Structure 1
Amino acid sequence: MARRSVTHSPVWALAVIIALVCVGAGLVSGRPDTVALAAPFALLALAGRTTASREDTVIGITGDRRAQGTGRRLRLLLAPPRTDGVATVAVPPGLVATIMATPGCPPEALVLRSDEECPVLVDGPLSGEADVLSYGSIGFSPDLTAASAFRPTPPVRVSILAPVGPMLARPVSRRLAGMAGTHGSKRPGEGGELRSIAPLQPGDQRRRIDWRATARRSTDQDRLMVRRTFADAEASVFLVVDQGQDLPRSTSDWFEAGSSRLVPGSLHVARVAATRVAASYLSVGDRVGLDDLSGTRRALRSAAGARHLEQIRTRLAATSVIPRRRRRRDPVPPEGAVVVVFSAFLDPEPARLLRLWHAQGLVVAGVDCVPSLDRTEVTTTQARAVQLTLLRRRLLLDDLWRDGIPVLSGLSGEIGSGTDDSLETGFRLLERRAHRRVGQGSGPGAR
């Protein structure tokens, strides 16, 4: 049961004092009319004494299903707690004063009736989890003689999934390990890509007989020719997100410790790019896994299907800045996987892992997640620090390109990078490069 408490206002205290003064003066002077003057004040004090405030929350924030926010705007509903349209708390008539504050803005006060609803528009993140509103409430009786204690509530936290976006090209490895799928492998078996024409052998299926090749090659019509094909296989993709930093677009925000503003940064670019890559491969039945460089959570195992895409989007939405700690071992991609690392490339660790997996023969690519920067440094020291950081980052990226490891830009139109989508262009080039290597390895002159 709800615990009840009584909180008196200054009006109640004044009514008690006046009633006591009237009673005392009437008794001393022996005048009943003076004692009768205390009756209204006594009733007022008694009403304030019997008006109890509940410790239950009399106001709450829920999502407004009747309207949707546009862009980064979220529409919330300030109303008494309800379950299936029925109030969960019997709120007595009165007034409720609510103090609300959003990140980076001063608090505001709102006074409503206890049974009244009010829509609230707040700014939300483009993706990820964030506290968008903090609030607390205090209730008053209808005559303002009694007030409840101020009750702060937990902040309103929202989780915004990154959009899927258009599909990308799908480069695959030359060493596919799956037993079924939509990609041609180098393993003989059931598939659609022609490997060779050979005489019929025991165990060959009749439907593989090529009658035209038989008429052309078997002059005596004493043997049948069959088509040998490469087996189809599914590709495996391993996504690695570097959540060690979240660089805002404005460089002056780099030097603000604990900034509470909802400013999109490099982690938002990583979420959008990783979601787009995962959706592109999962749409054709490939398997996608997800891991991060923080070493604090278990990797999301490789799987396929629409449900797995929602799991990846949910895991990416929960990604926040976590200082990188020393791992017991490096992430282990599946055999023959395509590895994509999403990072701001501010330190050598992502580049080291890309070189390691590239040396193992895997198809690797880096995605640069730094948004289009606005140089808004305030002091000369800040400007020099930004220049040195960007110079070091450029040297790391140039070294990767010299080692034959492509680094693509993860920017999209949401961050203000323009209409050019270099992520799509880069994956298309990777797909052509992978097909060219497969053709060179399976041609007649290959060794």
Structure 2
Amino acid sequence: MSERWPRARVTAAGVAVGAALLLVGAVTGRPDVAVLGAAPVVAGVLDWRRRPGGAVHATLEATGRAAAAGTLTGDVTLTAPPGTAAVLVVVRRHQEVVREVLVDVDGTRELPLVVRTVRTGPQTLADVDAQGIGPGAASMSEAAQPVSRTTLVLPDVGHLDVLPLPPRLRGLTGAHDSRRPGEGGSLRDVHPFAPGDRLRRIDWRVTARRSPRLAELYVRREHALAEAVVVLVVDSRDDVGPDPLTWRGPTVPAASDATSLDIARRAAASLAQAYLSAGDRVGLDDLAAMRRPLPPGGGRRQLDRIRQALAVTAPVGEARGRVRAPQVPSGALVVVFSTFLDDDAADVGVQWRRTGHRVIAVDVLPPLRTAHLKERHRFALRIVRLGRENRLAALADADVEVVTWHESPASQLTQLARRSQRRVGAGAR
């Protein structure tokens, strides 16, 4: 038989007080005092005899990935020996107690776990502790082995309507008008019938007006439909929160704060979804990781690959500097997501622009909280801000378009798209 649970200190103290009252009543001849002490003594003895034996076990399993609203779900399974009155369950996240409940367990019980989070990437779903309580709380089991589960939170996607396009379009399919003649796009011109033209392209009204005797036929020619190639480049070297005091040292950003890398993941996933839904090809690269980039592709599976790659993107040690900017396909639109707290991301953006690519720099630094900063901290932050503003100004001087993600990114992207509608093949969606 399993070893019985140890007695609870509170119950032992109650029995001791009851025994003392019984002794005082017997010595002083006070039956009323003895009666007061008899109840806790009898109850304590009976509960001790009913103490369960055995261990309490807890398991935690994640039931799904993060939803669009940042919800994580899991199942906590509790197993308790016969005679257990209740099980105390404590749920912690980031070393903080978020819920403490007392549940009735008859053998085995499964509890749903729902966690709200603003973070993305790999993270701990929860840390769960469990401890059994015997009848009348007279005994308590040893605390069960704490259990935890790590899950991967994929970035959610936002809705974006009008997006900028690269100066040159590629391919023979897509949703954008190319400069080449073809089918499916807007009207290019009206041209005399030539070998290879289809009869259904004949414009009889123009033919009747220009050649009443039908000496010559005229056909309507359209622009071919083409696709854009977009390369998303994430700078994962920095993962800073809205509190500048957490940028250096052992202090980490609060769990309720979205960091710059969380914003970059969501921004990149939103742009990928918008371009892929229009039939374009999208690739992904990381400035800090010396690994093979995700090549441009299309379709729903490409979006899943991009979200998966974004979720596992994280700072790993000290990033090595790049001698030159990573190579991207010819004529691609390059979108760089960075905090621009140093020169590396800005330098590669300028290099891409000088080689003829259209480059958009997305600033993912979250809005800062500075009310609690001391004077020396404010002075240091001012110096950092001046350097950052100089980099963004240098990008604008180099014809790199800058978008601040926390300031209505949809409207800023729309303005960039309208600005590129000056010639065929470089317009907005």
**Is 2:429 aligned against 1:435?**
no
From 288, 309, 313, the equivalent of 2:307 is 313
8 Å CA contact 1:130–1:159 kept in 2: the answer is yes
In structure 2, the partner of 1:217 is: 210
3-state SS of 1:168 partner: coil
8 Å CA contact 2:72–2:114 kept in 1: the answer is yes
From 178, 183, 195, the equivalent of 1:185 is 178
Q: After TM superposition, give the deviation of residue 6 of structure 1 in Å.
A: 6.4
What are structure 1's unaligned runs of at least 5 residues? 12-43, 81-88, 413-420, 442-447
In structure 2, the partner of 1:337 is: 332
- Identify if the C-alpha distance between structure 1 residues 280 and 267 changes in structure 2 by more than 3 Å, giving closer, same or farther: same
In structure 1, the partner of 2:387 is: 392
Q: After TM superposition, give the deviation of residue 350 of structure 1 in Å.
A: 1.4
* Residue pairs, 1:10-409, within 5 angstroms: 51-53=53-55, 58-61=57-60, 78-80=76-78, 91-94=81-84, 96-103=87-94, 105=96, 112-115=103-106, 122-139=115-132, 147-148=141-142, 150-154=144-148, 156-218=149-211, 221-259=214-252, 261-262=254-255, 263-323=257-317, 324-326=319-321, 330-376=325-371, 378-409=373-404
Larger relative contact order (C-alpha < 8 A, sep ≥ 6)?
2
| Partners of 1:52 and 1:378 in 2: CA distance | 53
- Identify if the C-alpha distance between structure 1 residues 404 and 328 changes in structure 2 by more than 3 Å, giving closer, same or farther: closer
8 Å CA contact 2:88–2:101 kept in 1: the answer is yes
In structure 2, the partner of 1:85 is: none
| Partners of 1:327 and 1:93 in 2: CA distance | 65
Aligned length, in residue pairs: 383
- Identify if the C-alpha distance between structure 1 residues 300 and 440 changes in structure 2 by more than 3 Å, giving closer, same or farther: closer
| Partners of 1:72 and 1:191 in 2: CA distance | 40
Q: After TM superposition, give the deviation of residue 108 of structure 1 in Å.
A: 7.8
Render the CA deviation track for 1:159-199: whole Å, top value 9, x for unaligned.
44333222231222232112211101122322323333332
Q: Which amino acid aligns with 1:102?
A: R
Q: After TM superposition, give the deviation of residue 113 of structure 1 in Å.
A: 4.4
| Partners of 1:439 and 1:107 in 2: CA distance | 54
| Partners of 1:174 and 1:347 in 2: CA distance | 28
3-state SS of 1:436 partner: coil
TM-score by length of 1: 0.72
- Identify if the C-alpha distance between structure 1 residues 118 and 219 changes in structure 2 by more than 3 Å, giving closer, same or farther: closer
8 Å CA contact 1:367–1:409 kept in 2: the answer is yes
Render the CA deviation track for 1:9-28: whole Å, top value 9, x for unaligned.
589xxxxxxxxxxxxxxxxx
What are structure 2's unaligned runs of at least 5 residues? 9-46
3-state SS of 1:151 partner: coil
- Identify if the C-alpha distance between structure 1 residues 308 and 91 changes in structure 2 by more than 3 Å, giving closer, same or farther: farther
- Identify if the C-alpha distance between structure 1 residues 303 and 93 changes in structure 2 by more than 3 Å, giving closer, same or farther: farther
Q: After TM superposition, give the deviation of residue 46 of structure 1 in Å.
A: 12
- Identify if the C-alpha distance between structure 1 residues 335 and 76 changes in structure 2 by more than 3 Å, giving closer, same or farther: same
- Identify if the C-alpha distance between structure 1 residues 6 and 307 changes in structure 2 by more than 3 Å, giving closer, same or farther: farther
250-259 or 225-234: bigger deviation = 250-259
Q: After TM superposition, give the deviation of residue 425 of structure 1 in Å.
A: 2.1
8 Å CA contact 2:176–2:425 kept in 1: the answer is no
- Identify if the C-alpha distance between structure 1 residues 8 and 327 changes in structure 2 by more than 3 Å, giving closer, same or farther: farther
8 Å CA contact 2:245–2:251 kept in 1: the answer is no
Q: Which amino acid aligns with 1:215?
A: A
| Partners of 2:50 and 2:279 in 1: CA distance | 70
Q: Output the aligned Cα RMSD.
A: 3.9
342-351 or 189-198: bigger deviation = 189-198
| Partners of 2:94 and 2:172 in 1: CA distance | 51
- Identify if the C-alpha distance between structure 1 residues 46 and 397 changes in structure 2 by more than 3 Å, giving closer, same or farther: same
8 Å CA contact 1:295–1:326 kept in 2: the answer is no
8 Å CA contact 2:134–2:140 kept in 1: the answer is yes
3-state SS of 1:192 partner: strand
| Partners of 2:334 and 2:411 in 1: CA distance | 17
Render the CA deviation track for 1:252-272: whole Å, top value 9, x for unaligned.
332452426312121222122
| Partners of 2:215 and 2:113 in 1: CA distance | 84
8 Å CA contact 1:238–1:288 kept in 2: the answer is yes
3-state SS of 1:435 partner: coil
